[in-house]
Amino acid sequence: MSDPILRLDGLEKGYNRGKPNEVLVLRGASAVIAPGEVVGLIAPSGAGKSTLLHIAGLLDTPDAGEVSIAGSAMARASDRARTAARRALVGFVYQFHHLLPEFSAAENIAVPQLAHGAAKPEAMARAQSLLDKVGLAARADHRPAALSGGEQQRVAFCRALANAPRLLLADEPTGNLDPETSDAVFAVLMTLVRETGMSALIATHNHDLAARMDRVLRLEQGILVDS
């Protein structure tokens, strides 16, 4: 059997440890995500969803436990190895688009490819083909401020997929949109994820959206439980 794309083993994470204002957020969180699996993450506000996603995406390190991506243990790997794995294997989408305001939609999608060593013409061609897929071919030259909220978020999806990651980590990817737009934009995200066959861990407060995923994990009292 192929390695899981993401394996979280007994993750522990706290802030201000050993001090009076200590907060223990993760207390042994474990999960396995198989290739191609799309998993929802439901957590009450403040339960540690962002902390978990940052550790899973190698943006932060756990106090204890292991994170393996595509079979490689990364929790205690060098910064250089973690950055290389993150760039090659992981895409991120947040609640707010975080697009660079002075760049066009296509340029925003080209940036991570250039950082990963692509040549500009190829990066721009891939940006255009991703924009085609999300119905924004005609918006390639628009700056983020000239796009609607739903369009900005669709560009952010393209940027997350620019380097063809194997794992998408999304933190309330449509949480900033009105319900109708959220539904339509979420459908675009799911189509992109399913078409590429990538795995995804998608945090949402929306139970209807969570119901469209293969399964759902809940983060409760610092551990992950099947929903």
Ligand X SMILES: Nc1ncnc2c1ncn2[C@@H]1O[C@H](COP(=O)(O)OP(=O)(O)OP(=O)(O)O)[C@@H](O)[C@H]1O
Q: Report how many residues bind ligand X under the rule CB under 6 A.
A: 12
SS3 15: strand
The torsion angles phi and psi of 155, rounded to 5 degrees, stand at: -65, -40
Where do we find the tokens 């998608």?
Answer: 202
Where do we find the tokens 């929790």?
Answer: 75
- Indicate whether 174 belongs to the interface with ligand X (CB under 6 A): no
Among the candidate windows 45-53, 80-88, 123-131, 181-189, which touches ligand X by CB under 6 A? 45-53
Minimum distance from CB of 164 to ligand X (Å)?
27
Q: Which of residues 23-42 bind ligand X (CB under 6 A)?
A: 23, 25
Nearer Cβ to ligand X (50/199) = 50
Cα 65–Cα 66–Cα 70 angle in degrees, nearest 5: 165
Minimum distance from CB of 45 to ligand X (Å)?
4
Per-residue x/- track, 96-115, ligand X (CB under 6 A): --------------------
Among the candidate windows 49-57, 117-125, 157-165, 179-187, which touches ligand X by CB under 6 A? 49-57
Q: Which of residues 129-168 bind ligand X (CB under 6 A)?
A: none
174 and 209 Cβ atoms separated by less than 8 Å: yes
Q: Of these, 8, 29, 38, 43, which contacts ligand X (CB under 6 A)?
A: 43
- Indicate whether 49 belongs to the interface with ligand X (CB under 6 A): yes
Distance of alpha carbon 145 from alpha carbon 54, whole angstroms: 27
Distance of alpha carbon 153 from alpha carbon 182, whole angstroms: 10
SS3 66: strand
Q: Of these, 17, 22, 46, 207, which contacts ligand X (CB under 6 A)?
A: 46
159 and 99 Cβ atoms separated by less than 8 Å: yes
How many Cβ atoms sit within 10 Å of the Cβ of residue 68? Answer: 17
Q: Look up residue 157 and give its two tokens.
A: 């999806």
Q: Of these, 41, 50, 124, 174, which contacts ligand X (CB under 6 A)?
A: 50
Minimum distance from CB of 43 to ligand X (Å)?
5
Residues of this chain that interact with ligand X (CB under 6 A) are: 15-16, 23, 25, 43, 45-51
